[in-house]
Structures are given as C-alpha cells and as structure tokens.
C-alpha cells in the first residue's frame, strides 16, 4: 500500500483541504439512529458537523439544498467487520462501500492488521479516501512478527510478553481493539491463555476483542463459548465475528447460540456478534476441514458432507487454471472425470491451501433469528476487491430483504444496529446519530426501492436505492453519482491523544 500512496498524496491533500458549502437536507423522513420512530425533519450541515435538526428549517444564503422528499435520512452506516483497506490505495473512492451507505469501515480483522497501526492511520489521513477507517490490532499479525515461521506451537512467556508490547503500541497508536482469526494460521495454534494475556492489554484503553472463532461448523457453539470465556477472563467487550452456523449438524441451533450471548451478558460479559445476510460464505478451501492434513481423504469427505456436498462449493480463485473459477467442485469433478475429494486434493497440491471458494452452508432460518437479535450488529466482511456479493450489497440487502420484505425488524431498529449500536460498542460518541453536534456522516436513501443486486457469479453488481452519502460533511454520492470527493480520515479510539504515544 505504501508504495502506491506516494502518487496519490498531493491530489488527495488538495481534495481534502477544500471547504464544503453549508448543506440543508430538506423534506426527508429522519431515522436518527437511536431506535426512535421515524419523523419528518430537516438537517443542516456546516463543515463536518450537524448544526441543526428540526421539523422545518429555512434555507440560508449560499446553502445547498438536498431535496429528500419521500426519502429516508439516517446516520452513515458503520461496517463493524470490514476488509475495505484491501485495495483502498488503488480505489480510494471506495465506491463499493459508498453505494451501500457505509461511511466508516472497521478493519484489521480476523487477526490481520497493519503494523504499526499508526502508519496505517496516518496513511489514511494522507490518502483521504472517500470513507473513514478505524483499525483493530491483529493477533495473527502480532504472532507472525514475534514467532515468524515457527508458529505451530504454543508461545513462550517471553514471546507473549513481546506480543503484549506490540498490542500496547497498537492501542497507543489509536487502535480500537484486538482481533483474532483462530481458524486461520498462525492464530490457529495459539492457546486461549495467550489471547487472554493480549486482551488484558486492551482493557485499560476500553478496547474490544473481536474474533473469527475457531470453528464455524460442527463445534461452533464451543468456539463461541471460548470467545465468551476469554472476554470474561480478560474483562473486555467481546464480539463474535460474522456469526454463522456453517454446517448441517448445527443448522437450526441459532436459539442456543443467541442464548449463550444472553446468558453471558447477564453474567456481566459485554458481548455481541456481527452478521452478514447471505447463506454462503467466502474463504479458503482448507477451512472445510478441521486440521492441516490436506491429503486426508476422510477429512475432505466429512467436510464436504457437512456443507451438503461438493455442489455447494464454488471455486472463486484458482491460480493454476482460472477457467475453473465460478464452477463448483462437483462440476470440476465431472469435467476432470474424477471424484470430488480427488479433485480437491489435486487442486491443493497444485495451488496450496489458499484456493478461494464460496460455500453455500448456512440456513435461512438461522439468518432470520440472527438479524432479529438485539445483540447482533451488521458487517459486510467485504473489500473493494471482494469476490462475494456481501462486499457490494450487505447493507442494502438488510434494508430491502429483512426490513422491507420479510419485516423481521423495523427500519429504526435496523438503522440503530447499523449506526449508534456499533458506534457505542466501539466508543465513538461523536458518530452514529443524526443530532446537533455530531459528525455529519449521513445517508439519504429510498426505503421503498433499496436493494442489493450481486450474485455468486456476478457479485460486484452495484445496489440500488442509495441516493446521497455525506462523509464528514462532504457529499461523496450525489443523487446516485460518485462525486470524486475524498473526505475520509483515520479514526482513533476514544480518548486517543497524539502525546499518548
């Protein structure tokens, strides 16, 4: 990223320095992010702040009027689990996020982050992308720095102490918490006690711990319990990343999973989950089996059976032969005249473990229960270069399918989950609500038409219905058109001061 940033800095600094004209958003239906009922209200923006909110405001000289008649006005959406930093140097307009209404992305997830965090946030400040970014400290990245290639073991006390120092540096740099990806290397080999030791470091800073859990399939409930127990031991807020029950044996167990969150909350653990609204996930082929023995036919047979068969696994990224991308393992098996397990083993031999796949492995009933839970917030888990439609349509899909069509939650509650609930969880008191004095991250959309359009084979289709997006008071989407404005910046954790470093 840093090599490409240099050529963008001058133009970005000039764009970011331009003063924006006062704006009056008039005639809209305000859903303010608090969960309160929708109401008719005008919103005045001056600079990067919301100046006034009232049933009716009169235009002033030189003020730009955005006619929001018949449209919904709400806070900009905060993407709790994002990988939007991937490719942001090449695509600073962040169009795939802006068109969803995302104004802030929380990155450094699944245990992988930039280090030092200060370099990343400073680069974002210089780049001025179209949206804001905050970052976690990635446990996997920290573990790699300390242990190198010798990570397939428990860390020594001295190594844990060094990791703690790196996490502390990340928090003083402005990170909002610690993330892990214990289904992936190198976090897979970490003992829970190691992560507890690192999570204790973030506690004095009010940091949150977010985990891609150890198993999202048969042992998913035990994996959720591990995260909850860790939060209890470390005394920190915890979040289950992109909550899913991704194998047949656990379909329908969302009531038990949500009951675990409720029970933990009653016992004093501050716990939540985030979720995206699709029955298929995107990852690497190797996560289909619980170990790293890629020649084990029995493990692959079990792994395929647990997600309903080879027809439910679509290859998205296979470097040795890109013509296989977009085809299922069963289709490839038919083409090669081999059984699916042999196909997978041969593909792994040729390309290594990181073969991109999408697997249809979740139950719609579980998705419905997750979206309705007050403890579950929303995330895209996407990036500008993503191969999953969640990267392009998560938030419009929630509003179109789960709010408007299925009516599983009200529009004010959906907006609350997308905005103030997430902001509060992360400690951002100045965002997530449309109210005087708050930062002017605002979206204006048509609640009657907003919808996603991406599919497994054509994921990058842009959603419809998002009309205006303001980031830090500047219009980045203007009546459905990207403006080229880049007012985004790096957001540091609450209480961060430059001298704290």
Tokens 């245990």 sit on residue: 111
Task: Using the predicted structure, report yes or no on whether residue 7 has a pLDDT greater than 80.
Answer: no
Give the residue from 174, 170, 147 showing the smallest Cα distance to 160. 147
Assign 25 a pLDDT band (cuts: 50, 70, 90): very high
Identify the band that residue 109 occupies on the pLDDT scale cut at 50, 70 and 90: very high
Cα 492 from Cα 121, distance rounded (Å): 8
Q: Write down all domains in the chain, each with its CATH number in brackets.
A: 74-279+362-482 (3.20.20.140), 282-359 (no CATH)
Q: How far is CA 401 from the centre of its chain?
A: 19
Kindly tell me if the per-residue pLDDT of 17 is higher than 60: no
Note the pLDDT of residue 500: 54
Scanning the structure block, which residue is given the tokens 């996020």? 97
Q: Which residues contact 223 (CB under 8 A, 6 or more apart)?
A: 213, 214, 215, 216
Task: Provide mean pLDDT across the span 427-446.
Answer: 97
How confident is the model over 258-281, as a mean pLDDT? 96
185-221, pLDDT tens digit by residue? 999 999 999 999 999 999 999 999 999 999 998 999 9
User: pLDDT digits over 447-468, tens only?
Assistant: 999 999 999 889 999 999 999 9
The percent of residues in the chain predicted with pLDDT above 90, rounded, is 88
The Cα–Cα gap between 156 and 461 comes to 48
Mean pLDDT of the chain: 93
Contact between 34 and 75 (Cβ < 8 Å) = no
pTM of the model: 0.91
Tell me the percentage of the chain whose pLDDT exceeds 70: 95
State pLDDT tens for residues 324-368. Answer: 999 999 999 999 999 999 999 999 999 988 899 999 999 999 999
Instruction: Tell me how far apart the alpha carbons of residues 261 and 270 are, in angstroms, rounded to a whole number.
Output: 9
Calculate mean pLDDT across residues 229-256: 95
DSSP string covering 437-459: TSB--EEEE-TTT-B----SSST
Range with lowest mean pLDDT among 19-23, 329-333, 438-442: 19-23
pLDDT band at 36 (very low <50, low <70, confident <90, very high): very high
């Amino acid at each position: 990223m840093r090599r490409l940033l240099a050529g963008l800095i001058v133009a970005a600094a000039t764009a970011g320095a331009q003063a924006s004209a006062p704006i009056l958003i008039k005639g809209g239906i305000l859903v303010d992010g608090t969960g309160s009922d929708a109401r008719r209200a005008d919103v005045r923006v001056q600079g990067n702040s919301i100046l006034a909110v009232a049933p009716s405001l009169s235009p002033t000289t030189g003020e730009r009027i955005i006619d929001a008649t018949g449209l919904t006005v709400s806070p900009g959406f905060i993407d709790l689990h994002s990988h939007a930093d991937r490719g942001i140097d090449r695509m600073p307009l962040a169009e795939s996020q802006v068109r969803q209404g995302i104004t802030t992305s929380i990155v450094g997830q699944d245990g992988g982050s930039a280090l030092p965090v200060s370099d990343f946030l400073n680069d974002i400040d210089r780049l001025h992308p179209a949206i804001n970014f905050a970052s976690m400290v990635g446990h996997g990245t920290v573990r790699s720095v300390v242990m190198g290639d010798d990570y397939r073991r428990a860390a020594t006390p001295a190594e844990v102490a060094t990791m703690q120092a790196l996490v502390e540096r990340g928090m003083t740099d402005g990170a909002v918490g610690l993330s892990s990806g214990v289904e992936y290397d190198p976090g897979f080999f970490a003992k829970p006690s190691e992560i507890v030791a690192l999570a204790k470091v973030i506690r004095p800073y009010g940091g949150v711990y977010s985990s891609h859990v150890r198993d999202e399939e048969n042992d998913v409930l035990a994996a959720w319990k591990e995260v909850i127990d860790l939060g209890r031991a470390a005394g920190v807020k915890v979040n289950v990343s992109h909550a899913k029950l991704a194998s047949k044996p656990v379909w329908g167990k969302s009531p038990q999973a949500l009951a675990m969150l409720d029970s933990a909350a009653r016992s004093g653990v501050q716990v939540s989950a985030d979720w995206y609204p699709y029955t298929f996930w995107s990852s690497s082929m190797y996560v289909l089996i619980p170990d790293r023995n890629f020649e084990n036919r029995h493990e692959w047979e079990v792994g395929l059976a647990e997600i309903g068969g080879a027809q439910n696994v679509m290859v998205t990224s296979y470097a040795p032969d890109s013509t296989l991308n977009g085809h299922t393992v069963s289709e490839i098996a038919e083409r090669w005249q081999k059984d699916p397990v042999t196909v997978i083993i041969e593909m792994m031999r040729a390309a290594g473990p990181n073969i991109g796949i999408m697997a249809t492995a979740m139950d719609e009933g579980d998705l419905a229960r997750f979206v309705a839970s007050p403890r579950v917030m929303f995330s895209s888990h996407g990036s500008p270069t993503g191969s999953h439609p969640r990267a392009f349509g998560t938030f419009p899909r929630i509003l179109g399918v789960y709010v408007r069509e299925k009516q599983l939650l009200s529009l004010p509650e959906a907006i609350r989950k997308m905005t103030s609930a997430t902001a509060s969880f992360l400690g951002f008191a100045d965002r997530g609500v449309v109210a005087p004095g708050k930062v002017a991250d605002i979206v204006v959309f048509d609640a009657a038409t907003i919808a996603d359009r991406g599919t497994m084979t054509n994921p990058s289709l842009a959603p419809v219905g998002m009309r205006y997006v303001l980031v830090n008071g500047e219009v980045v989407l203007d009546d459905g058109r990207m403006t080229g404005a880049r007012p985004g910046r790096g957001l540091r954790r609450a209480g961060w001061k430059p001298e704290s470093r």
